Structure 1
Amino acid sequence: MLLWLGLVLSISTAFGQQRTRLNDDWEFVRQDLGGVWEAVRPVVAGNPESVPLWQKVTLPHCFNARDAVDPDVNYYQGPGWYRTQLTVQNPYANGRTLLHFEGAGQKTEVYIYTTKVGSHVGGYDEWTMDITQAVADFQKTEAYKTQFKGKIPLSIRSDNSRDLEMIPSDLSDFNVYGGIYRYLNLVYVPALSLERIAAKAEVDKAGKQGQLTIKATFFNPNQLAKAEINVRILDPKGKQVERYQAGVAVKAGEQELHAFRVKKPQLWSPDKPNLYTVQVTVKAGSDAYVQTEKVGFRHIEFVEKGPFMLNGKRLLLRGTHRHEDHAGVAAAMTEPMIRQEMRMMKEMGVNFIRLGHYQQSRIVLQLCDSLGITVWEEIPWCRGGLGGEVYQSQAKRMLTNMIEQHYNHPAVIIWGLGNENDWPGDFPEFDKEKIRTFMKELNALSHQLDASRYTAIRRCDFCKDIPDVYSPSIWAGWYRGIYTEYKEVTEKEFQGVKRFLHVEWGGDSHAGRHSENPDNALAKISRGQGADERSGDASLFGGSARVSKDGDWSESYLCNLVDWHLKEQETMPWLSGTAYWPFKDFSTPVRPDNPIPYMNQKGVIERDFTKKEAYYVFQSYWTTTPMAHIYGHSWPVRWGEAGEQKMVKVYSNCEQAELFVNGRSYGVKKRNSQDFPAAGLRWLVTFDNSRENTIKVVARQGKTVVQDEIQQRYQTDKWGKPAKLILEKTAEQNGLATVQVKLLDAHGVQCLDAVNWVSFSLSGDGQLLDDLGTSSGSRKVQVYNGRAVIRVKTNGGKSVVGVQSEGMATALLPL
């Protein structure tokens, strides 16, 4: 029987050995079973010919780790099974044994031996399963003593099958992944513990007076009547500043433990993310349970028809977005991966993030707290319309869980109610009034659960009056319009709502593709047509002229687009903030024709953390630690006429910079953010076509000096139509070979503007490192400037790499 705790049982790091991540010793099969008996039968029956065949895996694990970006198949949506054997040794008399899921997609069933303990629907919220009774029952069986030799068989069925009565919609621009793709924990708690601590930290706008109200919900299956509680408050340096101790009557539901007055609290902000510690000890009999939470004191305000205020001062929200997705693992990102990603955001200058489009890992929220990144977190009501009672119940349940599970995080400033809810398709009926009614219900529920934070939605104009904050669709220079219209369009949208915040802007770029004339496509675009994304705009075929279809998808163009947006945002004092979409390239089932199939390529880093050039544009505007970056680190060959002057751009936050080409100084430039492009740090230079050109910048900020250097060839030879593929090994280290294909014309000249598709293959002992969703980790990919790269794990043997492209002879390379 499932004991549903309503919320996740909040579990702190204070438990030590009472909380264990179940990462190892798992087996997995990506298909359904005839029943749970098939998962345990091999042990009980001792049958070596048992089918199906299981593979060994570790958790977190996503069963779409590679097929999400396989260019030749639809990604798998269906059931998968996991199994392991647990050693259960609960140290508490009358204690409870729990499984704490940090997230599993999308429907999950849990079995102890052949007993179904319970189930959960929803791929992104946390949940807890009490397996105490099921374990005790199995321990009485003969199978426990003989076949399983004191171990507890645990089987879990995970299912991401398509289901119109579930959120998110399969029309969404991201994969609805399957698997136990966040951490799973085995937890022991005493007979009396806590389900949840709600710690409400409040401070006045002046920051002089704080109040910290501690409420708790007890987990009390044995119906104990009394307990001793001890509440300690520690300041950011770990010094105890408040304490409360008392006996309490244990009641059902949430009850207040104590309210503390905190004078002149150390405030939380992106620059100084000060965190207080709340430690609650619950003692009943000889057993004690300890839980800790981090909280922060900050005052937030979205000014009506104005900016965002933090602690009484304007803070321009400089944001981005995050999908839970990574090369080679899909949704199953480990804690070190998550930490690296969030630190890269902070190092880019981010102080705000929208977590799209679902509740994300507790690790993400903890890092936002400690790094100082404000958060908009939302439920996965995304596209498709509005389903029935089951659908709506899931949305309300997930909103409740998200708010209650992440309530204590000071980083959270907005609860998101939905995304692109004006997008029909999942149901025959698309009724705007019914969508409005349901949006009002979600808005009221959010305020009921948490009156201290704002609500928001993005892109549903017929609901824009319902939430506290609204973000329209503005894609100037990509899906509609040109990027120089950005400020004008944004001001118009700002006037139409009470509180405005612009999330989602930017454009796609194929990593490694660069252009000498990136803005050429803008000449085809009609001005004054708005900048909103409309039906069909994401398609690469048909419809009106737009950069998303008619542009070159170069990093060069994206840098110009980003550069213009950031310079304009500095001149908009009424602007609360923006969030670039997204930080990292991610997989999506609705974009099979993109240069990397099934990838949304709008990130400023690739799916494997490789930085694109646009990363440094953001850094040059948003950071203060001196930096300088010459555009073109992944651009080995430029082209043009002999003696022609070419622009070299440097992105830097320093006061001034001097450029050198082949040892010759081209002078010192001073930075001016309003001098587009590159804030005035651009030079016209003449390259030597007979040698590698060495380009160096020396930038100064006060007494601090930073430098950057790249090398580029300059090609003056003209080329015709691609006619030949040349395959070569460019590097090999530690058993990893890098292979590059070049496209040449009939005269052997590299075609530097070629965008042909190429397909890599491998025969032999090695392994092609493909299905990673990166420009150098895809076996089918569009070339970038007449070349493409793939890597091969040689395995110490012999292999032959092949590459094909329509209209040209296949090239082969023995390794």
Structure 2
Amino acid sequence: MKTYLPIIFLLLSFTGFAQDLRKSISINQNWSFAKDADHKGIKSISKWQQVNLPHTWNAFDTMDDEPGYYRGIGWYKKRINLNQAWKTKSMYLYFEGANQETEVYLNGVKIGDHLGGYTAFTIPLRSAKFNGADEIEVKVNNRHNEDIAPLTGDFTFFGGIYRNVSLLVLDQVHFVDDQYASNGVFVRAEKVSKQQASVVVNGNFINRANTVQQLTIATLLSTNDGKKIGEAKMQVSARLNQAIAFELPEIVISKPNLWSPSQPYLYNTTTRIIHTKTGKILDEVKTSVGCRFFSFDAAKGFFLNGEPYKLIGASRHQDFAGMGNAVPNHLQVNDVKLLKEMGGNFLRVAHYPQAQAVLDACDRLGVLTSVEIPIVNEITESEAFSNNCKQMQVEMIKQNYNHPSVIIWAYMNEVLLKMRHQKDPNRKLIYLNNIALLAQRLEDLTRATDPTRYTMMSNHGDVNGYVNAGLVKIPQLVGWNLYQGWYGGKSEDFGPNLDKIHAQIPDKPLLVTEYGADVDPRLHSSAAIRFDKSLEYGMLYHQIYINDILKRPFVAGAFAWNLSDFSSETRSETMPHVNNKGLLTLDRKPKNTFYLYKAYFNPKPYVKIGDGSWNWRGATTLDQPLQVFSNASEVTLFVNGKSLGKKDVLAHITNWNVSFKHGKNEIKAVAWVNGVKIEDQSVIDFKLFPHQFKQHLPFHSIHILMGSKRQFIDPKQHSIWLPSQLYENGSWGNIGGEPFKVKSTSRQSYGTDSNIKGTANDPIYQTQLVGLDGYQLDVPKGKYEVTLHFAELMGNGIQSMLPYNLDSLIAVDKIIPEQRIFDVYLNDKLIINDLNLAATHGVAKSVVKKFECLVADDKGLKLLFKGIQGKPVLNALEVKRIN
């Protein structure tokens, strides 16, 4: 059975005009900041740093090699000059976000506080001196607090005042929502259809003037070009300090322009408080209004304005490279533009409410959204935790109510992932019951606060666990975070798994709220496998998922995890402290997976040469694969001016085998869509490495990864690291040795994903050959620089205090590996004596040894490894001709 939810929503805008109405004054500039790690208080601080807001103190310590990041107290202070004319006004400090416990002081006296890091809050400013000496002091603490969500999560909990701060200057009579920091004006729609919509405005205002006020509350509704549609008004008598709730009569729109992603039409409204006798406007809130109706059906998916509509998009975290979460609005808006560019019509705002600028952009550009509070992985069974969650939920709804883009309120994500009390079944059952109790309270609260949207929880793949806990029955929608082919199983399992979930829970609308695979754009493989982080594996993964999603009507929507890479300080991986599942990099450069989505979902004619982020390539053969993405039916490819002919586009991709030349290659792809020619051009600089040195290629250098099946591209050095090969006469390669593999794990078939200290190029050191006898390169005569790269991945029996990562640095069966000591010879000369990597340098630490060697005969370069104790290892090798 379908439930239709008609709706019209408003956008918040603090804009005034000539009658000196509400002012919103940015006070982002010129703050002083200092940490208070010892909890001694602001008076103990002698050294301050000058900063502007938004600001976080974790922009850089989350990305270094030291585990952990500063989670504690930071103080901000700022001197403000208040206009004498404002003495008769009401003033508030408006914080759009500070993480996560905040106390605000005025001239040393506490005037307010807030718990929670992702919703806005206002602090009344009522004891100012107005003499130029007023000082605001703000104490922010991002410590772990068992009573505040999130408790844990695969993202970084940046501290600081990381969103904008404003001074609101209002008349003594003004719209207000002191408790939840909205603007106090809300709109709902009733009886919305293609023929008609009824708009009802309600809200709250307060009279702080010292007399009874005779007031008129009025809303004017107009088209986006200013033509009046109608107005509603009511008269009210307000006593001193009386807060009054109001609801205006409905305004009817005939044959409304319905808001949708393809046509995000916005009407305009102005809601005012007017002094009835004088006609003076005391307060005004201008908004934009979008009209639409929608429904979810368990069997048929999602419907928008009465038409079936597949929701496709991505989730988003708010941080950016080099900035942490202190990201200016223009970059946040650009994320929405990028999502729209790739053809997305939905943004899952995860795992917490984000800046108003994001939802403003979604309203304006036409992107449907869900918003959720950060109950992630687990809960605390305390009244304080429950109350904070309920406060967050209402703050989220009230502050974001006036956005036509929002269609879903959510409140839990993978809440059974970090299960507590595993060894005590009875206590575990109590914990599960308390999760269900909190979920039901949040569900009831959400439906009572805003019955016009749907509710949702997102669960991880333990379907039976959530069913048995009763959690799938509580929300109106269930999202599933599914990673077949990544954290377990095969990508081909995804579609059948969807069918099983739908069969098990046939009466509940289903969305795929997360799916993805790590893609490090520096890594490439001709034999891509799970967990190699290569671009090629990510492409195969997303192709399978997209096709399985599109062929199932009961999948109402699916949202890739994630729109962009994001910070996760506790992760290691090939880019430590970064979750690489984004379709964009952390600094928002598109990966090929982004181009794939654009070919599938952007309706505009499109053709794109793949490997646009990989225009520095190399191999030992000129024949290489190249992909072209398009929504045309066929594509013609030109390489260095020569046509390779036409190919049909299958699943929005054409695959080509291109014979590159050594050096720069000009590539052009041409397609025709409805008689219109479209094309894309790229220049790929290709480096041919010798397979046999007798090929008489000019030899300058070679970079080789040991025990690897993938290439690594170092974009800063323009170096290409090739996987090693077995030595053949006249060529280059290893003699003996086996690829390093973590024991007792199915996570990856070679190498480790541990953080290698001392380098930003971790993939160079995350694979190695173990027990190799030697390495031979039959280079021509000349002088060479030979660089050996080592990192101990297994530890030893000496340094018992090393912080082992038991998932990847040593075998998961916790066997302590034997000590490793070996010598290295270069052309029969001892160059490294008694090398004990772990004892000398520690585990997972990059070690570089550089030597020069003259080759005066036809025997080339030969490295010999002789074990003294344990097996010798080598992680990577560089050979460079000096002159």
Normalized against structure 1, the TM-score is what? 0.80
- Partner of residue 557, structure 2: 577
Paired position in structure 1 for 2:149: 167
User: Per the alignment, do residues 292 and 35 of structure 1 end up closer, same or farther by CA in structure 2, a change over 3 Å counting?
Assistant: farther
Query: Which residue, 668, 677, 691 being the options, matches 1:696?
Result: 668
Gaps of 5+ in 1: 1-8, 40-50, 145-149, 522-546, 674-678, 724-729, 732-737, 757-774, 788-801
How far is the alpha carbon of 1:336 from its aligned partner? 1.2
- Give the Å deviation of 1:691: 4.5
Answer yes or no: is the 8 Å Cα contact 1:741–1:803 preserved in 2: no
Q: Which residue of structure 2 lines up, in the alignment, with residue 634 of structure 1? A: 613
Match of 1:153 among 124, 131, 135: 135
Match of residue 744 from structure 2? none
Structure 1 position 67, deviation (Å): 1.3
Q: Distance in 2 between matches of 1:481 and 1:37?
A: 53
The answer as to whether partners of 1:512 and 1:784 remain within 8 angstroms in 2 is no
Q: Specify the alignment match of 1:336 in structure 2.
A: 330
Residue 351 in 1 paired to residue 351 in 2?
no
Q: State the partner residue of 2:7.
A: none
Residues 199 and 295 of structure 1 are in contact (CA less than 8 Å); yes or no, is this contact kept in structure 2? no
Rg larger in structure = 2
- Letter of the structure 1 residue corresponding to residue 144 of structure 2: R
State the 1:412 CA deviation: 0.5
Equivalent position SS for 2:656? strand
Question: 1:556–1:781: structure 2 CA closer, same or farther, 3 Å change rule?
Answer: same
Moved more, 704-713 or 233-242: 704-713
1:489 aligns with 2:460: no
- Specify whether residues 470 and 755 from structure 1 end up closer, same or farther in structure 2 by C-alpha distance, changes over 3 A only: farther
**Contact kept? 1:101, 1:127, Cα under 8 Å:** yes
Structure 1 residue 571: Cα displacement: 2.1
The residue that corresponds to 1:760 in the other structure is none
Q: Indicate the larger mover: 317-326 or 239-248.
A: 239-248
User: Compared with structure 1, are the counterparts of its residues 748 and 376 closer, same or farther at alpha carbon in structure 2 (3 Å cutoff)?
Assistant: farther
Q: CA deviation at 1:299?
A: 0.4
> Are the counterparts in 2 of residues 80 and 179 from structure 1 also a CA contact under 8 Å?
yes
Partner SS for 2:46 = coil
Say whether residues 1:557 and 2:537 are aligned partners.
yes
Please show how residues 668-747 of structure 1 align to structure 2 within 5 Å. 668-673=646-651, 679-688=652-661, 690-701=662-673, 702-713=675-686, 715=688, 717-718=690-691, 722=705, 739-740=717-718
Computed over aligned residues only, the root mean square deviation of the Cα atoms, in angstroms, reads 3.3
Separation (CA, whole Å) in 2 of partners of 1:127 and 1:680: 48
What residue identity is the alignment partner of 1:153?
E
Match of 1:23 among 24, 28, 41: 28
Shift of 1:476: 2.2
Answer whether contact 2:187 2:199 (CA < 8 A) is retained: yes
Gap change, CA 1:454 and 1:784, over 3 Å in 2: farther
Runs of at least 5 residues in structure 2 that lack an aligned partner in the other structure: 1-10, 177-182, 460-465, 692-701, 707-713, 741-754, 768-786, 792-846, 852-877
- In 1: Cα distance, 2:323 partner to 2:733 partner: 35
1:501 equivalent to 2:488? Answer no
Q: Distance in 2 between matches of 1:750 and 1:98?
A: 70
Which of 646, 658, 661 pairs up with 2:636?
658
Counterpart residue number, 1:770 = none
Q: For residues 316 and 808 of structure 1, do their structure 2 counterparts lie closer, same or farther at Cα, with a shift above 3 Å needed?
A: same
* Cα offset, 1:247, TM superposition: 2.4
Q: Which residue of 2 aligns with 1:538?
A: none
| Contact persistence 1:321–1:355 (CA under 8 A) | yes
Match of 2:253 in 1: 262
Equivalent position of 1:765 in the other structure: none
Contact 2:523 2:533 in 1 (8 A): yes
Q: Which moved more, 1:240-249 or 1:198-207?
A: 198-207
Q: CA separation in 1, counterparts of 2:584 and 2:764? A: 16
Higher deviation after alignment, 107-116 or 656-665: 656-665
Q: 1:517 & 1:425 partners in 2: Cα distance?
A: 37
Letter in 2 for 1:631: G
Q: CA–CA distance in 2 between the matches of 1:128 and 1:426?
A: 36
User: Equivalent residue for 1:392?
Assistant: 386
Report the equivalent of 2:849.
809
Deviation at 1:274, TM superposition (A): 0.9
- Shift of residue 346, structure 1, vs aligned partner: 0.9
Distance 1:160 1:654, change over 3 A: same
Matched, 1:98 2:100: no
CA displacement at 1:200 relative to structure 2: 3.2
Cα deviation 1:244-270 (Å, max 9, x = unaligned): 344223463532023111111111000
**Residue type at the aligned position of 2:515:** W
Residue correspondences, number = 697
> Which stretch of the first structure deviates more once superposed, 23-32 or 279-288?
279-288
Q: How does 1:220-369 map to 2 (within 5 A)?
A: 220-222=207-209, 224-250=212-238, 252-284=243-275, 288-369=282-363
1:647–1:243 distance in 2 versus 1, CA, 3 Å:
same
- SS in structure 1 of the partner of residue 849 of structure 2: strand
Deviation of residue 206 (structure 1)? Answer: 4.1
In 2, Cα distance between the equivalents of 1:267 and 1:721? 59
Change (3 A) 1:37 1:705: closer
Change (3 A) 1:693 1:105: same
Q: Name the aligned partner's letter for residue 56 of structure 2.
A: C
SS in 2 for 1:501: strand
The C-alpha deviation readout for 1:419-460, integer Å capped at 9, x for no partner, is 011123678954111111111111011000011110000114
Quote the Cα distance in structure 1 between the aligned partners of 2:541 and 2:665: 27
Once the two structures are overlaid, the 10-residue window that deviates more, 508-517 or 418-427, is: 418-427
1:377 is aligned to: 371
Distance 1:642 1:398 in 2: 58
In the aligned structure 1, how far is the partner of 2:230 from the partner of 2:398?
25
Counterpart residue type for residue 474 of structure 2: I
- Shift in alpha-carbon separation, 1:454–1:803, aligned structure 2, 3 A: farther
Structure 1 residue matching 2:93: 3-state secondary structure: strand
Structure 2: distance between partners of 1:108 and 1:722? 49
Following superposition, the deviation at residue 55 of structure 1 comes to 0.7
Corresponding residue of 1:528: none
Distance 1:705 1:72, change over 3 A: same
**Amino acid across the alignment from 2:614:** W
Shift of 1:205: 6.4
- Could you report, residue by residue, the CA deviation over 1:171-192 in whole angstroms, capped at 9, with x for unpaired residues? 2111122111000001100101
Alpha carbons of structure 1 residues 118 and 91: separation in structure 2 relative to 1, 3 Å? same
TM-score (norm 2): 0.74
Q: 1:230: how far off?
A: 2.7
1:255-307 Cα offsets, whole Å, 9 max, x none, are 20231111111110001111122211113475621111222110010013221
Cα deviation digits, residues 144-180 of structure 1 (max 9, x gap): 5xxxxx23111111110111121111x2111122111
Contact 2:188–2:199 (Cα < 8 Å) also in 1: yes
Kept after mapping to 2: 8 A contact 1:605/1:615 = yes
Match of 1:458 in 2: 458
> What is the DSSP-based 3-state SS (H/G/I as helix, E as strand, rest coil) of the residue aligned with 1:446?
helix
- Matched position secondary structure for 1:69: coil
